[in-house]
Amino acid sequence: MKRSRINDIMAEADEMIRSYGFVLPPFARWTPDEFHVRRDDARQVIAARCGWDITDYGAGRYDEMGLFLFTLRNGRLADLQRGGGMCYAEKLLISKQDQLSPMHTHVIKAEDIINRGGATLVIELFGSDDDGKFAEDRGGTVWCDGIERVYAPGEKLAFAPGESVTLMPGDWHAFWGEGGDVLIGEVSTVNDDETDNIFRDPIGRFAEVEEDVAPTHLLVSDYRSWLGGGSPG
């Protein structure tokens, strides 16, 4: 993705987020130079990979297959492993109309996916086989706003603003906005986007960036090269 396009997406996303009454944290507004100067103060932000995250999954077709994310907070894998402490994470996402976030699952992360505003969020679901791999012929069970729901293989569930679903490791899912763009909330266990996204098809998690202009703000995937940090947990 061109850096100029990423900058535009950031500005558009910030405007949409504010329109639904959410405001991103102060570090979201830092320029790369400000982030570099304050990198010691922001060491937890950097280590937890909080911040801007825009991906086309390496395919170069963001409007067709992509996702905007902003990680607001993220816990520590060590706390999760010992069973106490900061074991949670929170994100805001934007799924544009008919923009696919491709089929994937997680090994560790359980997550609530919440339609925070906009159009309808559609989530397509499949279950796992006995080895945790994608199973075209298996469904499963999810909780929709606390109500148990059994899904058939490939069933598409629709969520209006205010509605949510709880996905567990092994629930394979893809999603997109239907009828317009959707602001999505994600509340989960500790998030590790480098290793805990298992895609059905061989695609990448992060975009390859073409530096045609200077960045307005850093992506989480920039932290290691720009700031010398960014390992999960």
Ranges of the chain with pLDDT below 50: 230-233
Instruction: Calculate the average pLDDT of the chain.
Output: 95
Eight-state DSSP code of residue 189: E
Q: Kindly report the pTM of this predicted structure.
A: 0.94
Dump pLDDT digits (tens) for 164-183: 999 999 999 999 999 999 99
Q: Which CATH number fits domain 3-227: 3.40.980.10, 2.60.120.10, 3.50.50.60, 3.40.50.880?
A: 2.60.120.10
Please give the Cα distance from 187 to 52 (Å, whole number): 16
Percentage of the chain exceeding pLDDT 90: 90
What pLDDT does residue 205 have?
87
Compute CA distances 151 → 115, 155, 167, 218, whole Å. 19, 6, 12, 39
Q: What pLDDT digit, counting tens, does each position of 45-56 carry?
A: 999 999 999 999
Tokens, residue 128? 């796992």
Instruction: Go through the chain and tell me how many residues it has.
Output: 233
pLDDT per position as a tens digit, 204-226: 888 899 999 999 999 999 999 99
Q: What separation, in Å, do the N-terminal and C-terminal C-alpha atoms of the chain show?
A: 27
Name the residue ranges covered by the structural domains of the chain.
Answer: 3-227
